[in-house]
Amino acid sequence: MMGALRFLKSLLALSVFLAGAALSLPAKTPVGGDLVVALGSAPATLDPFLATDANGIRISHQLIFETLLRLDDSLSIAPGLAQWRRISPTKYRFQVRKGHRFQNGASLDARDVAFTLRHFMAKGTGSPYGAGLREKISRIVVLSAQDFEITLNAPYASFLSDLILPVVSRGDKGRTESGSWLNGSGPYRLARRSVGEIVLERNPYARPRPGIARVVLKVIKDESTRLLKFRKGDIHLGINVLPLDKLAWFKRKPLARDYRLVEAPGLSFQYLGFNMRDPILSKPEVRQALAQAINVDLLITYRQKGHSVRATGLFPAGSPFADGSLRPHSYNPAKAARLLNQAGYPLKDGRRFSLVYKTSTDRSSINRARIIAGDLKKVGVIVEVRSLEWATFYEDIKKGNFQLYSLRWIGVSDPGFLFELLHSKKFPPAGRNRGRYVSAGMDALLEKARLEADPARRKRLYRLVSRRVHTDLPYLSLWHNNNVAVVHRALSGFLLHPSGGFEHLAAMTWKRP
């Protein structure tokens, strides 16, 4: 009954929006005021050591804190708070840039960086980034106020990408999210946080100075409500927060008068995850059958509206690590039925077995889950779609408390990340192998690839990794999303980073009247 009521409320809200869109009502003129940004879900945490979800990283790692290194717009590792040089295959020397200060006015130097990395690595911190750093880093030595060295246990090829991490003050020992852990050196500082709103104020010590004094991040879970707020002029910026089938509305009046669309290829990879410890899904024939029972191309056409590209792996076609020889799993319900028969699940009274598909309360995610459930029902697999509040859903995924789910990886450019995702020793909290995938062959490939310095051989090894993922199906690759931003026309300086994040938000300003 409650689900039906929520549906009716959403339908009513959408009807109101449609009626309002036909009118040419004046939108608010926000020049010189707060920048209001729409979020589809609240960040699970802003704690810089624990944030892993997209909004947590966007706010904590990109706005409140600065990172040691960063990913630039060309997807190369670039200096952040520090620049570096390689002394030997296993030793790096870093120099921290002068002039950076935390929100409390304290200077940021090499001792803060060393403290931060050691705290990430401490088992008691419980950071999901910690296990990888502990495995790779042998020693951290502070040489001076600006200089420090890191010695590795082996010549890890992707080590620098592990240092795209926020730096905290060594004076903030033992604090939590509600305390001084949020004393960052980023462009903004946390002013207050409530259930549906996060308010950031300009960090007085930030260099360069942010162009807009206050940023208000509005958590708006319902898509129809988000659309209404854009129509009313209550929201000034949204990145990947609107239903793709509604973006065309922003190309027509009255919305086109106040907003512009910015779209570009991104690093977002949408996938369907399987729990490899589940007695049904642990069977390769079952996963192969599910891959061929889902009409992904139709989903892209009708749900993604041309804003996504079919994926065969984690990396898009333009990546040097993409394997161009791979082809997507074809839609073939008849073959799927034969595979399920071979796996020992014959069709009886229209069904073979049932699964639970967990998702968030985001409407697009629920619709996607229902369409996938409909496809699987055609081959006798009954799927219950269970939607949960984001924090609960994400916690279940991290704990492995699921059978099926769909999420997306954002901002992944270096294949070294696949070790955390696919190695059998990287079950959470040690890593992000949430589906509990185990393969001795994959482990061997990943261990070899992460130590391979030669670019050509490294590419070949990671293409072999992609082929094994394509065959073993710990994940079913769905699509790569474009990044789509809706930007108020009174704003200038907006740039869309390939990660779809907030890297350039502090550079934005209001246009002069």
Output the CA–CA distances (angstroms, integers) from residue 470 to 157, 323, 420, 463, 476, in the order listed.
Answer: 24, 11, 17, 10, 8
Cα–Cα distance, 374 to 381 (Å, whole number): 9
> Of the candidates 102, 129, 163, which is a domain's last residue?
163
pLDDT for residue 6: 45
CA 17/CA 188 separation, integer angstroms: 33
What interhelical angle do 363-377 and 284-293 show, nearest 10? 110
Tell whether 327 and 440 lie within a shared domain. yes
pLDDT value at position 220? 95
Average of per-residue pLDDT values in the chain: 89
**Which residue has better confidence, 180 or 83?**
83
With beta carbons less than 8 A apart as the criterion, state whether 280 and 274 touch: no
> Between 306 and 176, where is the model more confident?
306
Q: Report yes or no on 43 lying in a domain.
A: no
The number of domains in the chain is 2
Q: Does residue 156 lie within any of the structural domains?
A: yes
- Is pLDDT above 80 for 319? no
Q: Given 163, 181, 198, which residue is the final one in a domain?
A: 163
Residue 469: inside a domain, yes or no? yes
Interval 449-494: pLDDT, tens: 999 988 899 999 999 999 999 999 999 999 988 899 999 999 999 9
Residue 2 has pLDDT above 50, yes or no: no
Give the pLDDT band of residue 409 (cuts 50, 70, 90). Answer: confident
pLDDT at 326 over 50: yes
Report the CATH number that the domain containing residue 464 is assigned in CATH.
Answer: 3.10.105.10
Residue 203 maps to a domain: no
pLDDT band with cut points at 50, 70 and 90 for residue 176: low
Contacts by residues 7-15 (CB-CB < 8 Å, ≥ 24 positions apart): 10/222, 10/223, 10/224, 10/363, 13/222, 13/224, 13/225, 13/228, 14/224, 14/227
- 439 part of a folded domain: yes
Same-domain status, 447 and 335: yes
The model's confidence at residue 307, banded by pLDDT at 50, 70 and 90, is confident
Q: For the domain that residue 88 is a member of, what is the CATH number? A: 3.90.76.10
Can you tell me the mean pLDDT for 409-435?
86
Residues 248/250/253/259 CA torsion (nearest 10 deg): -160
Has residue 18 got a pLDDT over 80? Answer: no
Res 463: pLDDT? 92
Model confidence at 15, pLDDT cuts 50, 70, 90, reads very low
Parent domain of 425: 266-481
Res. 408 pLDDT band, cuts 50 70 90:
confident
pLDDT beyond 70 at 25: no
Q: Residues 193-203: pLDDT tens digits?
A: 999 999 999 99
pTM for the predicted model, two decimal places? 0.76
Tell me, yes or no, whether 62 lies in a domain. no
In terms of domains, do 271 and 394 share one? Answer: yes
Q: Do 132 and 277 have their domain in common?
A: no
Q: Which secondary-structure segment (H or E) carries 355?
A: strand 353-360
- Range name among 2-6, 351-355, 364-368 with the lowest pLDDT average: 2-6
Residue 181 pLDDT greater than 80, yes or no: no
Are 291 and 335 spatial neighbours (Cβ–Cβ below 8 Å)? no
For residue 237, give the nearest of 253, 224, 250, 248 by alpha carbon.
250
Cis status of the peptide bond prior to 254, with omega within 30 of 0: yes
- At 32, the pLDDT band (50, 70, 90 cuts) reads low
pLDDT at 322 over 60: yes
**224 φ, ψ to 5°?**
-65, -40
Does 364 share its domain with 475?
yes
- Provide the percentage of residues in the chain whose pLDDT is more than 70: 91
60 located within any domain = no
Averaged over 235-261, what is the pLDDT?
92
Q: How far apart are CA 145 and CA 99, in angstroms?
A: 12
Confidence of residue 243 (pLDDT cuts 50, 70, 90): confident
Q: 316-325: string of b/e by CB count within 10 Å (b at 16+)?
A: beebebbbee
Q: Which residue has the tokens 């059978």?
A: 403
pLDDT over threshold 80, residue 166: yes
Residues 460 and 334 in one domain: yes
Residue pLDDT, tens place only, 110-146: 999 999 999 999 999 999 899 889 999 999 999 999 9
**Within a domain: residue 169?**
no
Residues 270, 155 share a domain: no
Looking at 129, 146, 163, which one is the last position of a domain?
Answer: 163
Predicted confidence (pLDDT) at residue 215 exceeds the cutoff of 70: yes
The β-bridge relationship of strands 404-409 and 353-360 is parallel
Q: Is the pLDDT of residue 413 over 80?
A: no
